[in-house]
Structure 1
Amino acid sequence: MNSNPKTMSTIATGGTPFTRLAGQAGLRRLSAISALLLAALGSLVTAPAHAQDIQSSPSFVDDFTSFNRERWYVSDGWSNGSHQNCTWSKGLVALSDGVLSLGFEKQKLKDRDYACGEIQTKQRFGYGTYEARMKTDTGSGLNAAFFSYIGPSDKQPWDEIDFEVLTKDTSKVQVNAYIAGKGNNEKLVDVAGGAEKAFNDYAFVWQKDSLRWYVNGQLVNTITDPAKLPTHAQKIFFSLWGSDKMTGWMGAFADPGRKLTLEIDRVAFTALGEPCQFPESLACSVK
């Protein structure tokens, strides 16, 4: 958090639509961006076919003292499918005192009655430590997510690593992984004190032979089965969205009657084998 006087600014950066479809366990991503934008981002890494050859963009730490338009792409003007009851809006992405907020509120946009916020990196990342310090709001029928993803629109198989707070119950977060479009790796784990009470640290460490999830520095899940480990470099996403159809997973949606937010204080990627980048980093203590 910075010490500057309180400021609020909306991120006026939109972009080209991309789509995702829902899978059996909830919203799943078939992402990405139009051919025009892909051409403009031609410097992105193309992930090789073999896991040991995964390439990655450089390590970074973003504490959101400003909005890095070279790093982040803002979703604006579309939704991911009929299951989603909100339209992505750049107006729901804002900075305040070194915290990035993604909002959800009642606002008629196109064919949806609600607007919501999402960002994703323009770069792709491979093996290493992925960390986010964030705080969610509460409300049945919503999903506050920090995850990595790549898929067919980027001419890659669908690989994904998730933290998803289903805000109907902020005492837990769901961790999950999708490998070549196959999931069934989800697990609900506790968030001591609740995801909405204070900022919590969520991290996963992705290596060639393992995938490990941590909440506030505590190991909460591990996958070592080679068939369940991602093999393609991925983009980093944050999103807050709602659904009035996926009630079995997200709970029955009800108009919250106010603007809800997912607040992100910091995000970092530390490539495997590189030194940790800030004292609180999981990469300083976990290899």
Structure 2
Amino acid sequence: MLLSKSFSNVTVGLFALVSPLAADTTSNQAETLDSGFISYGDDLNSDRWYISKYNNEASWLDTVWSRDAVEYDPKDGALVLSLSPAPASTGKSFQGGEVQLRQQTSFGRYEVIMTAAPGDGVVSSFFTYTGPHFETPHDEIDFEFLGRDTSEVWLTAFVEGEKKPGQAVDLEFDATEGPHLYAFDWQPDSLTWYVDGQELLHVTAEDAPIPSLPQKIFINIWVGGEGQQDWTGAAPKNTMSTARYYCISYRPAGADTPQCSDWSPQ
């Protein structure tokens, strides 16, 4: 059953259920999804989504991924990704939540309705990614919210491991105060980011190379290591924070499938 609730900026279908996910994905290769989807909580199951559970030992990340950091809140229908101090045995200062699409996606429109996480040193995100773990070069497209200043959002992309567009854009609101609709349109010759239907940044192939490899959709919350702190700020050791996700959708280029924005006011 799809319920709905009106927020200050958007009206969205609510998460109804979050099912526990199955065991870890065993293959680095993923099938490319050629049809669109719109996901609420009752679709976050082992057939489509995977909750990360592993310790990335890289020094740039001071966060271990834990399934305990991903839960459903029936009060507002949000999928909640949380950040909290990690057990000392992990070797990391924090544990956070991450959810990834099992299949890859390609050109098209990507949308999320979310509330960003506050806190110095905290990063919450919506992005697509592929890289060496998936036996490919590194391509990526990002919305990244730095909890130290949530009146702006970082919009970035990587092509074969090199950072391309990357800049902070003013939002004219605080992204932690409630849900907003964030979207990017990825075409072979351009990338355009939006918030609540308004264009934030447009980049063409004449400006910079555009990612071309199929990627996976990710959402997560994390704290970086010392090498990231000039950008993110430093998180106090007792930091706790949450990011809330209400809707995720993908519409392939040229398709006419449902999107999160179908629930926003005209």
Range of TM-score over shorter length: 0.7 to 0.9
Q: Distance in 2 between matches of 1:66 and 1:123?
A: 14
**Gap regions ≥5 residues in structure 2:** 6-13
What is the match of residue 2 of structure 1? Answer: 3
What is the match of residue 161 of structure 1? Answer: 141
Per the TM alignment, residue 125 of structure 1 is displaced from its structure 2 partner at its CA by 0.6
- C-alpha deviations, 1:112-149, integer Å up to 9, x for none? 23211101101011111000000022101111010001
- C-alpha deviations, 1:175-216, integer Å up to 9, x for none? 011011110420111223211011011100011221100011
Change (3 A) 1:244 1:78: closer
> Which stretch has the larger CA shift, 242-251 or 127-136?
242-251
What is the match of residue 63 of structure 2? Answer: 86
Structure 2 residue 84 is matched with structure 1 residue 102 = no
Superposition pairs of residues 224-263 of structure 1, within 5 angstroms: 224-225=204-205, 227-245=208-226, 246-257=228-239, 259-263=240-244
What is the match of residue 190 of structure 1? Answer: 170
Contact map agreement 2:16 2:41 (CA 8 A) in 1: no
Q: Distance in 2 between matches of 1:273 and 1:123?
A: 19
What is the match of residue 277 of structure 1? Answer: 258
Superposition pairs of residues 1-287 of structure 1, within 5 angstroms: 2=3, 12-13=20-21, 15-16=23-24, 36-38=26-28, 44-45=31-32, 56-79=33-56, 81-97=58-74, 98-108=77-87, 109-225=89-205, 227-245=208-226, 246-257=228-239, 259-278=240-259, 280-281=261-262
Q: Distance in 1 between matches of 2:178 and 2:223?
A: 22
Change (3 A) 1:178 1:136: same
- C-alpha deviations, 1:145-187, integer Å up to 9, x for none? 1000111222222110000001110100000110111104201
Change (3 A) 1:2 1:64: same
What TM-score comes out, normalization by structure 1 length? 0.79
Q: Distance in 2 between matches of 1:208 and 1:8?
A: 35
> Which stretch has the larger CA shift, 237-246 or 219-228?
219-228
**Gap regions ≥5 residues in structure 1:** 17-32, 46-55
Change (3 A) 1:231 1:184: closer
SS state of the match for residue 104, structure 1? strand
- C-alpha deviations, 1:20-77, integer Å up to 9, x for none? xxxxxxxxxxxxx6xx4337x5xx13xxxxxxxxxx4310000224522211111113
Q: Distance in 2 between matches of 1:11 and 1:118?
A: 15
Q: Distance in 1 between matches of 2:125 and 2:45?
A: 20
What TM-score comes out, normalization by structure 2 length? 0.85
Contact map agreement 1:159 1:231 (CA 8 A) in 2: yes
Change (3 A) 1:154 1:198: same
Per the TM alignment, residue 95 of structure 1 is displaced from its structure 2 partner at its CA by 1.2
Instruction: Report the number of matched residues.
Output: 252
Change (3 A) 1:281 1:7: closer
> Which stretch has the larger CA shift, 60-69 or 217-226?
60-69
SS state of the match for residue 140, structure 2? strand
SS state of the match for residue 213, structure 1? strand
Contact map agreement 1:86 1:113 (CA 8 A) in 2: yes
Contact map agreement 1:141 1:168 (CA 8 A) in 2: yes
> Which stretch has the larger CA shift, 218-227 or 173-182?
218-227
Q: Distance in 1 between matches of 2:139 and 2:121?
A: 25
Contact map agreement 1:132 1:146 (CA 8 A) in 2: yes
> Which stretch has the larger CA shift, 185-194 or 130-139?
185-194
Contact map agreement 1:140 1:168 (CA 8 A) in 2: yes
Q: CA RMSD in A?
A: 2.9
Change (3 A) 1:202 1:3: closer
Give the letter aligned to residue 252 of structure 1: A
What is the match of residue 8 of structure 2? Answer: none
What is the match of residue 9 of structure 2? Answer: none
